[in-house]
Structure 1
Amino acid sequence: MPFTLLYYVLGVVLYIVALPLLVILSFKYKYKESIPARFFLFKNPRFKTFNTIWFHVCSLGEARALKPILKELNQKVCITTITHTGQVEAKKYDAEVRYLPYENFLPFWIRKQKLLVVLEAEFWYLLFVVAFNKGAKIILLNGRISDKSVKSYLQFAWFYKKMLSRVEIIYAQSEVDKNRFLALGAKNIEVIGNIKLAGEISHTKEFIKPKCEVIVAGSTHPTEEENVLKAFIEYKKTNDAKLIIVPRHPERFEEVYKLIQQYAEKNSLTAQKFSEQDNFDSDIILVDKMGELNNIYAISDIAILGGAFKEDVGGHNPLEPAHFGCKIITGKHFFHQKELFKYVHHVQYVESEEILHALEMVKELPSSRVDEKIDLQKVIEKIKEIQNNGN
């Protein structure tokens, strides 16, 4: 109790210090919904539903990973997210959806629930403590501790031990993650693999594939588009190909399109926005609409998967391009997706300056594929057991 009180007071001080920055950031497109909701509770009331199952996820990938679980449970649940993209995905389910407020609001915001299921590495101390004190059992699902962050976790092992002591069971992604949780003092850990392997991957539209090689740069981040464009320009000199770029964040659409136009004009190529011409007639196409990436993967030969050419992102999910048989090229900084990449075969891992060489090597390599699946049944049975015991 004394530690929790001290933690709360420090949180209040941090909130006051950060207030001017939060106000400024709330005007940025990326945060215009999430920051007011999380830090000022704007249009973010408490759940109406109580004594049910509450899932907390960070962003799009984790929200999407809930689909097979929610399908089996077949009931209305509560979901909180951190990001706007996660929020959009979560609203596709039969669920009450909210942003997770800043920790210091949680003692007043959280309602009693039977079960809280937290995905991956969403370690918010007051989330665990308050939910537990209000009677919720807690499951950590798809638990992971990345190579990049393990050292800092271990430095504060005493803190994470306090937090994880409230957890009923941890379903870890791998034996490595299990051992890291054990080193933090956690107990009752089972390895089930990455639950994203259980997700259903599909596309919603049937686009007509252009009669040439189609390269998609998917989920790209700043600097990655330019590196891909440089490689593509050289590659196209000797190959009949089109490049489709799908940035990870929609607020960057205009910025990326200006970059595309610069490269297209310099090299006598054509460029277009997908929102303005619903086709793939140009040499370089910016997909500036959300929810189209799987539809693009379905007509692509090569996928250059973003988020791993930069050191600070950690990569993106390779299962989707692999599902559609794309030949995958990605960077070497995929630490957040390390477990998933173990299951994907025939991927080229390269530095930014090696993208051109990887494109030239593609013809000699088979398509990427995923062989493994995981069984979520024990997770679903555990959720149902806790729910029934709470009746």
Structure 2
Amino acid sequence: MKPFTLLYFILSALLYFVALPLLVFLSFKQKYKESIPARFFLFNNPRFKNDGGIWFHVCSLGEARALKPILELLNEHEIKITTITHTGQAEAKRYSAEVRYLPYEMFLPFWAKKHDVLVVLEAEFWYMLFVVAKAKGARVILLNARISEKSVKKYLQFAWFYQKILSDVEMVYAQSEADKNRFLALGAKNIEVIGNIKLAGKISKTKEYQKPQEELIVAGSTHDGEEESILKSFVEYKKQSDAKLFIVPRHPERFEAVYELMKKYAQTNSLSLSRFSQDREFKTDMVLVDVMGELNNIYAISDIAILGGAFREDVGGHNPLEPAHFGCKIITGKHFFHQKELFRYVHHVQYVEPDGIHKALMKCKELPPSMVEEKIDLEPVIERLKIQIYPFRGWLQCPSG
């Protein structure tokens, strides 16, 4: 083990023991009751069964979903997936793959097995993950790699550290030219711009719902603090338009808190309220969608989508492709730095501050539906991946046989 790697390992172990009381405390919270015990105590998180194969590492729900078209093109090969969040874990388990949580870095030298390739999506830069994977014989590839405009200063301040991380990466497939230049500044090599692979994902609904006669507004993937502004705007808008509001919180552990907030607005403004899990007649003025996996089905019957995650400065926005695919008129905030590349392909979007939502709702009457300008062809991306993989072992064959 190199001196820096040994020092990093020791520091990660010290940090682990310092944080142990907090980790135990967080383990009892609904949001972390599965992920923290798995990642930090290896509870129900054994090593992969076999050596070899392709190991994909993603963070959360969005990245796990982005894997789908890639895995469909690699369906003959042994796939392993690790995630960070419980929502990412649930999505990854939909695939025909071995799925685990990524353990805390201190455990990786003993937990990780030998793989042929490690493919890491977006901005999951874990020093020990890269070092251990390469030491055990894997070729490390970054796919859909990005460094946001908001984060780049922080990365450059620690450029010496990220240069060490990226020294173990053989190939970087970046989302944009801007991302490529940021990786170059950090010392990365072999960088190619391929666009955002989320453009290749098939967007579909899983259920058919009857669209209400009224105009339907859906607030999708909302975070704490955003629902208040949306509810205020909807109350004003409702005075001038016959409309309904569905709110779909990003995190299920917030369902109850959001319902209480909606109930307060309903009582104050004489509006009716229901839960999606209990009533799917959609007869009330407002509906809390307290069920996972329904957002696309609701986008499909909605007229306007208020896309959450961008009205706060610390989230970075959410995927606009889904509401655009279903022809919703999109309103979102101005802090969409994590999704900047995707928004580049979506037209007719209103970007507003929280206090501008009502005005944007009024303006929707004169705007066309949002639309996605282009798609990405994944076949060349897969072939490029194979070029990196194939010289190492002959087990990965081209689709033509």
Indicate the TM-score class for this superposition, using the shorter chain for normalisation: over 0.9
Query: What is the aligned partner in structure 1 of residue 35 from structure 2?
Result: 34
**What's the CA shift string for 1:179-215, capped at 9, x where partnerless?**
0000000000000000000000000001000001000
Gap runs ≥5 in structure 2? 395-401
**What's the CA shift string for 1:13-61, capped at 9, x where partnerless?**
1101111111111111110000000000000000003210000000000
Aligned partner of residue 214 in structure 1, secondary structure: strand
Q: Are 1:202 and 2:204 matched, yes or no?
A: yes
State how far apart, in whole Å, the 2-side matches of 1:275 and 1:373 are.
34
Query: Conserved in 2, the CA contact under 8 Å of 1:52 and 1:387?
Result: no
**What's the CA shift string for 1:255-296, capped at 9, x where partnerless?**
100111110011111000010112211000000000000000
Q: Give the RMSD, CA atoms, in angstroms.
A: 0.8
1:139 pairs, out of 138, 141, 153, with: 141
Aligned partner of residue 45 in structure 2, secondary structure: coil
Query: What is the aligned partner in structure 2 of residue 278 from structure 1?
Result: 280
* 1:168 CA drift (Å): 1.3
Query: What is the aligned partner in structure 2 of residue 111 from structure 1?
Result: 113
State how far apart, in whole Å, the 2-side matches of 1:87 and 1:244 are.
26
Query: What is the aligned partner in structure 1 of residue 68 from structure 2?
Result: 67
State how far apart, in whole Å, the 2-side matches of 1:115 and 1:379 are.
15
Query: Conserved in 1, the CA contact under 8 Å of 2:38 and 2:103?
Result: yes
Q: How does 1:134-173 map to 2 (within 5 A)?
A: 134-173=136-175
Letter in 1 for 2:38: A
TM-score by length of 1: 0.99
Query: Conserved in 1, the CA contact under 8 Å of 2:180 and 2:191?
Result: yes
Query: Conserved in 1, the CA contact under 8 Å of 2:89 and 2:101?
Result: yes
2:314 pairs, out of 307, 312, 319, with: 312
Q: How does 1:169-188 map to 2 (within 5 A)?
A: 169-188=171-190
Q: How does 1:1-391 map to 2 (within 5 A)?
A: 1-75=2-76, 76-388=78-390, 389-391=392-394
Percent of aligned pairs sharing the same letter: 74
Aligned partner of residue 30 in structure 1, secondary structure: coil
State how far apart, in whole Å, the 1-side matches of 2:8 and 2:247 are.
44
State how far apart, in whole Å, the 1-side matches of 2:389 and 2:183 are.
25
Aligned partner of residue 217 in structure 2, secondary structure: strand
* 1:387 CA drift (Å): 4.3
* 1:383 CA drift (Å): 3.3
Query: Conserved in 2, the CA contact under 8 Å of 1:50 and 1:111?
Result: yes
Letter in 2 for 1:390: R
**What's the CA shift string for 1:330-369, capped at 9, x where partnerless?**
0000000000000000000000000000000001111000
Flag as ranges the 4+ runs of structure 1 deviating above 2 A.
382-389
State how far apart, in whole Å, the 2-side matches of 1:280 and 1:115 are.
48
Aligned partner of residue 172 in structure 2, secondary structure: strand
Aligned partner of residue 328 in structure 1, secondary structure: strand
Query: Conserved in 1, the CA contact under 8 Å of 2:205 and 2:300?
Result: yes
State how far apart, in whole Å, the 2-side matches of 1:180 and 1:338 are.
15
State how far apart, in whole Å, the 2-side matches of 1:143 and 1:343 are.
17
State how far apart, in whole Å, the 1-side matches of 2:98 and 2:186 are.
33
State how far apart, in whole Å, the 1-side matches of 2:384 and 2:113 are.
22
Aligned partner of residue 95 in structure 2, secondary structure: coil
* 1:386 CA drift (Å): 4.5
Query: Conserved in 1, the CA contact under 8 Å of 2:139 and 2:389?
Result: no
State how far apart, in whole Å, the 1-side matches of 2:109 and 2:145 are.
24
Aligned partner of residue 221 in structure 2, secondary structure: strand
**What's the CA shift string for 1:91-139, capped at 9, x where partnerless?**
0000000000000000000000000000000000000000000000011
State how far apart, in whole Å, the 2-side matches of 1:103 and 1:387 are.
25
State how far apart, in whole Å, the 1-side matches of 2:86 and 2:252 are.
11
State how far apart, in whole Å, the 1-side matches of 2:8 and 2:263 are.
50
